[in-house]
Every structure is written in structure tokens, then in C-alpha cells.
Amino acid sequence: MSQISTLVTTGAIALTSGSLRAEPADVGFGPANPFYAPSSLPFHAPPFDKIKDADYQPAIEAGIAQQFQETIAIADNPAEPTFENTIVAMERSGQLLSRVMGAFSGVTGANMNPVLQKIQETEAPKLSALQDATYLNSKLFKRVSRIYEQRHSLHLDAESLRLVEYDYEQFVHSGARLSDADKAELKKLNEEEANLSTAFISKLLAATRDGAYVTKDKAALAGLSEAELAAAAQAAKDRNVDGWVISLQNTTQQPSLLSLSNRATRQALFQVSWNRAERGGSNDTRDAIARLAQLRALKAKLLGYPNYAAWNLEDQMAHTPAAALKFMDALVPAATARAVGEAKEIQALIDVQQGGFALEPWDWNFYSEQVRKAKYDLDEAQTRPYFELNNVLHNGVFYAAHLLYGISFKQRNDIPVYNPDVQVYEVIDADGKPLALWYCDYYKRDNKNGGAWMSNFVNQSRLLGLLPVVYNVANITKPPAGQPALISFNDVTGMFHEFGHALHGIFANTEYPSLSGTSVPRDFVEFPSQFNEHWASYPAVFDHYARHYKTGAPMPAELAAKIRKAKVFNQGYEFTELLAAAELDMQWHSLAPDAALQNPDTFEVEALKKTHLWLSAVPTRYRSSYFLHIWGNGYAAGYYAYLWCEMLDDDAFRWFEDHGGLTRANGDRLRKMVLSRGFTEDPARMYAQWRGAEPSVEPLLKERGLELAAPSR
Ligand SMILES: [Zn+2]
């Protein structure tokens, strides 16, 4: 608590003094700060033309102080608790903080610099302390509980009733119902978990760096391209070592294993990857993860659950570990049967080439790449001229959304951006009304995080009178000035994916910000995005955008067919390695609180054997000792969510296919019953209402080309 009161004091001083000093941290917060008042731009878009790096920190600190004071005022209100003075008041609180954090998260993800990085590091613990100060405030919880108990006699509309239940569950989930002694114990466990998790991240970072494959023998690297060799030489130079260095990626398999023709090198590279965090010494993570698993089980027990997974899944779509496990178990036979088939195909190739050895994991990608070339022969150089970025955006991504939902797009050059690469569009609804603002920042930059993502600068809320301001970020290689951006089909699919998230934000139409848009459980949030990917290869859409950038000619049919066929390549392997990781995660987080400290190696082997995922040539995508998602990145007992959402998106697409495919009626129905509703309904119920049935795994198996391998039962 002392940290919070310090914050309030500094915040308050900054608020009253308004004096400007030299260091950014000490600059006061007043009307000169662009976050001081709501933005006057259309859709309250962030005024990036006025925002300077030095404006963020004082605004964040003032925002934290403001929200803290607002929360205290709600908790200490002498009036009887009512829905308005407590639940709605909480929804109205923290607007300054939302304003600044919307812009700050956007720029720190996509346009980072050392000043912003420093601010991020300084503010992160203060933001999480604010979280604790809300959910462990017993006076506030008492008020929320009173309203929760009376909720059915308050004549609330469905969304308001849902918000009461949501708030109550958030408090309970965070430990609000515990005695003071147990709260103190929980805080201790949380702290130890946070510290161990941080330690795991730094150990793994060091282990991954130190685990790199190093050689002075150029012949060992036969098969690498000139560019890959140059990168390996540069990596060696950066580390001041002679020769070549192949740095490790976070997955078990390494990209170079696809092209390294020297088998001994492949084995050596694979083994440094596999053992990176298990070499003894200070970078070995095994003690940390064993204790982390135990701590989480103890935490679950304190909160009243049999294990961590049960606690974590309670507010997810799956609801219980049993449901997630049943789902995964049903996929294992089809995935592993296909993987075994693929292994046989590869072994045959090894034998034809008189390799004289049995397939091992370090051989898989090298030979499967040869199978791929022989069977699918898809050359990206041939397809790229048909995928020019702007054309894909307008005639593919926007076109599909227009056909499905009736929305249209108008470029807005008058809205300021944080980088000249960013484009802004106004999204106009079918009835002509303004709906949202959408930004895209597609090109790779050195100061951008890797990957692609969607988020909001402004969250939609009718209560606060806000329309959504949404953005997509990607890392597509920028063409030289004046040249077109010719992208891969993978990039195309990525654009549809992120735009699917964007639609979930754009269509948000809820009263309360807490329940709006993409604020849904992890095992539901990838559903709209993955679902939208299906339109990328839907013939009526594909044929409309896949046009040669010079001639406008459609893509030759046989080339388009190859793209479709390539989708099912190597799916036995890929699906099995994902399932193995997801099952491992679930087993670690299903440990009973009284279980002894585990030995990660034996635990892992037993967990995989138990779930029939122990295949010698198909290792888990992440070994327990370097499974960053679950020990460091908030995906504990949550890695299954990727597969779960895949079940949903394929199942939903099947519904579309069964009901006439791409039509306005189908699109509008999905928008009304799912995409606009955020978290105003339990996603399992929402989905079943829309689908008319529970989701099934059969469409997923078919999409991955695994259905033939599925046992008939
Ligand atoms: Zn996504």
C-alpha cells in the first residue's frame, strides 16, 4: 500500500502544481499535456501530431492517481451501494488512464524508443499495484457483493446483470473472498510466482543466447543460402567469436534445419536447442519451473480449487480442464496417425537416397522440405506478383468485409499518425453512419515488436459515448520507394487474420467498456480472427484480389490450386507438436497442491506418454524447460486456447458453407449474435446460440487434412 500512497502524492502534486521541470518524470501534468482532456479529433483519435515522448509519463502517473482516487471514493461512499454508484461508477473511472495507455501501448509496440522503454519499465509495477489495490480492496468488494446478492431483484437489463456477475467473479477470482491472513498468504505466493517467472525469463534469455550453435568449419554449414551464411557470419561477429553462429529461436525446431545437408550439424543444432535450458549452472530453468508449478497449485488450493488449471479455466469458454482435455484427447489419434504416415514417407525418401539411418527429429524438416517440393512445388516467386499489398487490402480484406457486413472504407489523410507508414481509414456502416476508425501499420521496422497484432486506441462504449478506434500492426518487408509491396500468401492470410480481430473491435456495440469488443477469454479471442482467414482463400474473394500487379490478370488456376493444396502439407507433424505442448501445459497445471516437487524431465516424458503424444521423431513444440508461454507469458493452463479457437473457426466456417457461404444475411447474423457482443454473454452460450449446436472438432480435422486418418467412431 505504501507504493500506492506515494503514487497518489506525486500525482496530486503534479496535478496541483502544474510546474514544468527539466526531467520528463518531474514534468507536471496540466492542460498543456495532450492527454489532459479527451481528444477533439474525430472518434477521439489520439492527437499524435501533438503528443511528445515526454507527455506520456506524467499523464500515466496522473491517470493512475486519478483512478486510485476514484476507486477509493467508490469504496468509501457513505451511501448504500447501488448499481449506479458502484458498478457503473467503476466503469466510468480511469478515463484519463485509458486515454493515455491506449496511445502508449500502441507506440511502445510499434514505434519503440529508449525513452518510451524506460517509461514502460518504470510504470509497469505501478500499474499492477493499481490492479491489486482495486481487487483486494475489501470495502469495494463488500459493495460489489451486496449488489451481486440482490442482482435478480434490481430489474437490470441483461448486459447490466452480466456486468454485475463479471465484476463479482473478477474480485473472487483475484482472491477478494479470502480472510486477511489468506490474502497475505496469496500476496506472498503471487510475489514468489512473479519473481520466479521473471527469473525464468532471464535464465531462458541467457540460455537461448548461450545455446547458439557455433562452428569454425564452413563445410558443416553446407546447404545454407548465401544470405543465411552471411547472417551466421554476422552473428559470430556480433558475439566476437570466429566462424559462424546460428542463434536459437524459441521453438524446438530451428529454421536452418530445413536446409542444413550435413546430418551431424543438424543433430548438433537440434541438441543445443533441446538442451538449451538443461545444461546445469545458472541458466538451467528446471528448478524454477518445478517450483512455479508447485506454487501455482498452492495458490489454487488457497483460492478453493483442486488445481491451477481449474482456477484458471473457470472464466474461460472451456470452463473446466476436463472440457479442454476431452477436446485435445479427441484430436490425438488423428494427428499422430497422420504424423506416423508422414514419418514413413520421409523414411522412404531417406532410404531411396541410401541414407542408411532411421529418421530422427533433426532430419524431419530437411526431408519434409524435399517432400513438399516434390508434392506441392509452390514457388513464392510465382505467386507474389498476384498479391500486391494495397490491392489485397482493398480488393480482398475490405471487399470480403463489405460483402459480408455491408461496411465500407474511406481513407482519412487528416488524422495524425505516429509514423508515416501508418494509414487511417474511417469505417462506414451499411446505413451510412460512421462506425469506427481503423489504422494499419503493415511494414517492418527495427523499433517494432515482431509478429502481428490488433488493439484499440479507444475502446467502444455507449456509456462513455465512445466509438472504437482500432489498429492492425504487421511486419511485412517494406519495398524500396516507388516499388509495389508484393507479399506472400502467408502475409495475405495474416492481413485477414488481424482484420478479423479488428472487426471484433469495430463491431463492438456494448454499453460498458469492461465487456466491449475483444475483452473476451483467451480461448475465444482468436475465433473472429481465425474465422476471417477463411475468406482469404474463398474463391469469390480470392479471385477478386489475386490479380497480377502489372496486368490485372487473374492467378492461373493451377497456381491457385497449389496454394490450397499446400495448406495440408506436414499437418500431422505440426498438429502433433502443438498438441504435445498444449497437453504438457495442462498436465503441469493439473498437479495437486500436495504433490511433491517434480523432476521436469521425467514429468515431461510421463505426461506425453500418458496422453499418447510420445513420438520419437515428433518432439513437443516447446520443451517444459523453455516453454516461455506458460512460465513467463501468461499462458499457464492456456496454451490449448490456440487449438480450441481453431475448432471454433473451422466449425463456424462449416456453418457458413452449409448456409449459402458468403452472404450479407450470414454476415449480419454473425455480427449481431457474436461479433458485436463482446463479453456480454458467456462465449460458450453465445456460440451455441449462433451455431445452433455445440462446436465440433470434425471441421478442424478436415481443414488440416487429417480427417482420413481419424478413427471411425
Ligand atoms: Zn490473433
pLDDT tens profile 513-568: 999 999 999 999 999 999 999 999 999 999 999 999 999 999 999 999 989 888 88
For helices 571-588 and 600-610, give the axis angle rounded to 10 degrees: 120
Catalytic residue among 70, 498, 511, 703: 498
Q: What is the mean pLDDT of the chain?
A: 92
Q: What is the dihedral of CA 176, 178, 181, 186, to 10 degrees?
A: -70
Ligand 1 centroid to residue 471 C-alpha, Å: 13
Asked if the model's pLDDT at residue 90 lies above 70, the reply is: yes
Compute the distance between CA of residue 295 and CA of residue 597 in angstroms, rounded to an integer.
Answer: 10
Asked if the model's pLDDT at residue 713 lies above 50, the reply is: no
Ligand 1 centroid to residue 529 C-alpha, Å: 6
pLDDT tier at 303 (50, 70, 90 boundaries)?
A: very high
Compute the distance between CA of residue 464 and CA of residue 90 in angstroms, rounded to an integer.
Answer: 12
Predicted local distance difference test score (pLDDT) of residue 15: 27
Q: Are strands 423-428 and 408-411 parallel, antiparallel or unpaired?
A: antiparallel
Ligand 1 centroid to residue 453 C-alpha, Å: 7
Ligand 1 centroid to residue 500 C-alpha, Å: 8
Do the domains 383-566 and 2-177 match in fold? yes
Q: Report the largest interatomic distance among the alpha carbons of the chain, rounded to a whole angstrom.
A: 84
Edge-to-edge strand ranges of the sheet holding 469-476: 408-411, 423-428, 434-443, 469-476, 453-458
pLDDT tier at 249 (50, 70, 90 boundaries)?
A: confident
Active-site residue, 498 included: yes
pLDDT in tens, 118-163: 998 889 888 878 887 899 899 999 999 999 999 999 999 999 999 9
CATH class of 383-566: mainly alpha
CATH 1.10.1370.40 fits 2-177, yes or no: yes
Q: Which of 451, 441, 509 is nearest to 668 (CA)?
A: 509
Report yes or no: 508 and 483 within 8 Å, Cβ to Cβ: no
Compute the distance between CA of residue 256 and CA of residue 227 in angstroms, rounded to an integer.
Answer: 12
Asked if the model's pLDDT at residue 465 lies above 70, the reply is: yes
Stated pTM of the model: 0.89
Ligand 1 centroid to residue 525 C-alpha, Å: 7
Asked if the model's pLDDT at residue 620 lies above 90, the reply is: yes
Compute the distance between CA of residue 233 and CA of residue 170 in angstroms, rounded to an integer.
Answer: 51
Report yes or no: 470 and 675 within 8 Å, Cβ to Cβ: no
C-alpha torsion sign, points 75, 80, 84, 85? negative
Ligand 1 centroid to residue 454 C-alpha, Å: 8
Coil, strand, or helix at residue 436? strand
For helices 571-588 and 641-658, give the axis angle rounded to 10 degrees: 130
**Residue with cell string 541438441:** 271
Q: What is the domain partition of the chain in residue ranges?
A: 2-177, 211-274, 286-376+569-639, 383-566
| 545: amino acid identity, one letter | Y
| Residue 379, CA atoms < 13 Å, CB-side half-sphere | 3
Ligand 1 centroid to residue 64 C-alpha, Å: 29
Report yes or no: 593 and 300 within 8 Å, Cβ to Cβ: yes
Give the chain's radius of gyration (CA, Å). Answer: 26
Q: Which of 212-221, 317-326, 368-377, 455-464 comes out lowest in average pLDDT?
A: 368-377
Compute the distance between CA of residue 165 and CA of residue 679 in angstroms, rounded to an integer.
Answer: 12
Ligand 1 centroid to residue 498 C-alpha, Å: 6
Predicted local distance difference test score (pLDDT) of residue 372: 86
Q: Quote the CATH superfamily of domain 286-376+569-639.
A: Neurolysin, domain 3 (1.10.1370.10)
Report yes or no: 312 and 638 within 8 Å, Cβ to Cβ: yes
Compute the distance between CA of residue 530 and CA of residue 537 in angstroms, rounded to an integer.
Answer: 13
Asked if the model's pLDDT at residue 18 lies above 80, the reply is: no
Q: Which of 267, 179, 255, 289 is nearest to 220 (CA)?
A: 267
